[in-house]
Structure 1
Amino acid sequence: MTTPPAPRRSWLRDHSELGVGALLLVLGVLVLTDALTMDVDIAQRGPIGPTTVPLVVGTGLLVVAVLLAVDVLRGGRGEAEGGEDIDLSEPGDRRTVLLLIGVFLGFAVLVGPVGFPVSGALLFWGSAYALGSRHLHRDPLVAALLSLITYGVFNNLLGVPLPGGPLMGVI
């Protein structure tokens, strides 16, 4: 009795890590383009200006993208973590992914009109719900507290203004 041949996999499936390399390459080009076109005051203090970090990060992204592509093309493959208990033959959980996409899009739409504290609370609560938490009394309270703390830290301590929305005049 002969064994059936193993299913043939496509070249792209066998080299799927090249997609990560392509993403890193695109991000590196975007970061470098943004850094090189940045409008910088020439009378800066010290040898390190505001373009230094983006130039280093962008160059690093390009180097990692090239090294990853070379490794994959030479036959290298990423290894799953030892403690990973995922059956890769099963399909992904589309419901969770779609719920998270909806929560993030809702946050992006609502952050302007209702402000960060409200939209952030919805983001945190919706993400927890999408990822499986069903504590319907606790989760909204934790999300609201986390959103207010995040708003306070960014707005007051870090000096990064976030949209407060109509409730910030009341609170």
Structure 2
Amino acid sequence: MTGAGTTDDPRRPEETGEGAVATDEQDHGFWHGRSALLMPALLAAFSLFLLLGAGLLEAGDTEFPGPRFVPMILGAVGLVLAVLLALGVLRTPEPVSETSGRPYRTHSDFVALAWVAGGFLAFALLLPWLGWILAGALLFWCAAHGFGSRRPLFDILIALFLSSVVYLIFGTGLGLILPSGILGGGF
């Protein structure tokens, strides 16, 4: 028995749909499936902004590490990550996906976005009252939940540990004053 798609079919692959994927990739050009290059471009722009801002910062006669140290590291790491992300997108582009036979241009997880954005908003609003450790822990927990973690107790413990370490590094190591909030005895 022969049918469309078997080797005995006299029709060309374009007519049977066998070569459709290869033909579609050739017809769309270079940018097909590479819209994800927007994210590395934004990361590179932000990293360059950090590097430029740190370079223009008047630090005076401060000792090492000084106020330029962290922005320079973050800017350099951001540029490296932007290049790695761009290379990944260029090597393996992701074409438009299909759901139920209909193509869609993007897929957004608005629940995850709401958790992360809400965490940033809560951090910004509650930082003076909760202090760095608790507000940072809340931010980390919201981000972890938004990215799919379903272990709230573990996430809280890790969040408290990380925000405490950051508080110690910036407070003790760099001499910056971060808000202590209710843990410091005041608002």
Counterpart position of 1:124: 140
Deviation at 1:119, TM superposition (A): 0.5
Q: TM-score, normalised by structure 2?
A: 0.51
Gaps of 5+ in 2: 5-14, 100-106
The AA in structure 2 aligned to 1:78 is: R
Q: How many aligned positions are there?
A: 147
Larger Rg: 2
Is 1:16 aligned to residue 29 of structure 2? Answer: no
Counterpart position of 1:163: 179
Deviation at 1:113, TM superposition (A): 3.1
- The CA deviation string for residues 86-145 of structure 1, in whole angstroms up to 9 with x for no partner, is xx6573433222211211222122223321111112122222322333334444344334
Counterpart position of 2:91: 78
Taking CA–CA contacts closer than 8 Å with sequence separation of 6 or more, which of the two structures ends up with the larger relative contact order? 1
- The CA deviation string for residues 8-50 of structure 1, in whole angstroms up to 9 with x for no partner, is 7587544425525643563365346435643365x899xxxx6
- 1:32 and 1:149 map into 2 onto residues whose CA distance is 25
Counterpart position of 1:95: 111
- The CA deviation string for residues 62-88 of structure 1, in whole angstroms up to 9 with x for no partner, is xx88xx99x9xxxx92327xxxxxxx6
**Percent of residue pairs bearing the same amino acid type:** 30
The AA in structure 2 aligned to 1:79 is: T
Counterpart position of 1:115: 131
CA contact (8 A) 2:141 2:152 kept: no
- 1:28 and 1:149 map into 2 onto residues whose CA distance is 24
Distance change in 2, residues 1:147/1:9 (3 Å): same
Gaps of 5+ in 1: 81-87
RMSD: 4.5
- 1:142 and 1:134 map into 2 onto residues whose CA distance is 13
The AA in structure 1 aligned to 2:171 is: N
- Between stretches 117-126 and 157-166, larger displacement belongs to 157-166
